[in-house]
Amino acid sequence: MSLEDFPAEPGANKDEALRHEPVMLQEVLLFLDPQPGETIVDCTLGGGGHAEAICRRITQTGRLIGIEQDEDALVRARMRLQNCPVTLVHDNFRNLDKIIQQTSAGGVDGVLLDLGVSSFMLDTPERGFSFRTDAPLDMRMDRRQPTTAADLVSRLTEEEMVRIFLEAGLGRWARRIARAISTSRKQSPINTTAQLADLITATLPAAYRSKKIHPATQVFQALRIAVNDEIAALDIALSAAARHCNIGARIVVIAFHSSEDREVKRTFLTLAGKPAPPPTHCTEELPLSQGQFTILTKKPLVPSLEEVRRNPRSRSAKLRAVERTVPDDQSSLSSPSFYSTDLVDRL
């Protein structure tokens, strides 16, 4: 698909699209290091902020493939990227292998994934990602898919809810909240964000309810990740990205949730030929020999205090990066050092 496949809507606001501030932009550009003539894949186009900056670096001789599963975001990105050498694809990045095969004549020189939910989605009440206003309990990033958060809340067993809540970091409250949901839905369906948020608030002790972060936040994150099958999609996308990287290509990932960051760290360790825990989801195995990549970030980078003050939603971001440094025909034993600190020192 090209830009022409997503014409601007009559009511679309160009100023709104341009106001989008990409998270950790300078760090992304430093680690992705896009150069004129290169092919870069932005797997999470969103408002197009990262993509616009990348396009300036690759110039008209390069090519950017922008992937986005939210059609509303594609409309906004089209306005922002109308003068850029970009191909837009309306799809989930879990299909990255197929997308690269269909849109790129060869390998790619960089891949970016900015995970989580976009500000546009959070600020659109009817999408159901936030409980600041009452709205249908939706949470679908791609509204073409049939299952909503309300569907999961009504169908999941108590044990299934406990599992996804534990993965989201709810700890001791996971079972209590799952049991409360299971009991409440027997009396009446839980179909709105306010219903779920109020139920969670009433379930927890007063001391917990007074914390800075609303107690429903982690539950909403857990349901969103489950609705969109985000962790499995991430595993598949990283595997595909590694398969198609040219020598010198970088993979840069910004994660906002601990479960996402764990998967990124695990995959990057595997690509670097280092011991790593097993994947949490049953997905295809990494296709490349271990040791073909070098980790560029020994520890994840976080936003500067200035950026967090300017954009509070960036506060939980963690950036990790790897570079492909060994071709297919070389043994992992001849791979370069595990970590490269040069880029970190330059920040």
What is the 8-class DSSP label of residue 173? G
Q: What is the CATH number of domain 127-227?
A: 1.10.150.170
The pLDDT assigned to 123 comes to 84
The pLDDT assigned to 280 comes to 62
Antiparallel, parallel or unpaired: β 108-114 and 318-324: unpaired
Residue percentage of the chain with pLDDT more than 70: 84
User: Please, which residues have CB within 8 angstroms of residue 135's CB and are 6 or more apart in sequence?
Assistant: 125, 126, 127, 128, 192, 193
Residue percentage of the chain with pLDDT more than 90: 67
Range 3-115+230-346 classified under CATH 3.40.50.150: yes
Query: What distance in Å separates the CA atoms of residue 137 and residue 317, rounded to the nearest whole number?
Result: 25
Ramachandran bin of 236, using left for φ above 0, alpha for ψ from -120 to 50, beta for the remaining angles: alpha
Question: What backbone torsions phi and psi does residue 215 show, to the nearest 5 degrees?
Answer: -60, -20
CA distances from 81 to 32, 47, 92, 117, 205 (A): 19, 10, 20, 21, 48
Confidence of residue 104 (pLDDT cuts 50, 70, 90): confident
pLDDT surpasses 90 at 344: no
Average pLDDT rounded to a whole number, residues 201-211: 80
Query: What distance in Å separates the CA atoms of residue 293 and residue 273, rounded to the nearest whole number?
Result: 8
CA distances from 14 to 41, 54, 78, 126, 263 (A): 23, 20, 10, 21, 36
Of the listed ranges 30-44, 91-105, 241-255, the one predicted with least confidence:
91-105
Question: What backbone torsions phi and psi does residue 231 show, to the nearest 5 degrees?
Answer: -70, -45
Q: Where are the domains of the chain?
A: 3-115+230-346, 127-227
pLDDT, one tens digit per residue, over 114-140 is 998 888 888 888 999 999 899 999 999
pLDDT, one tens digit per residue, over 150-179 is 999 999 999 999 999 998 878 889 999 999
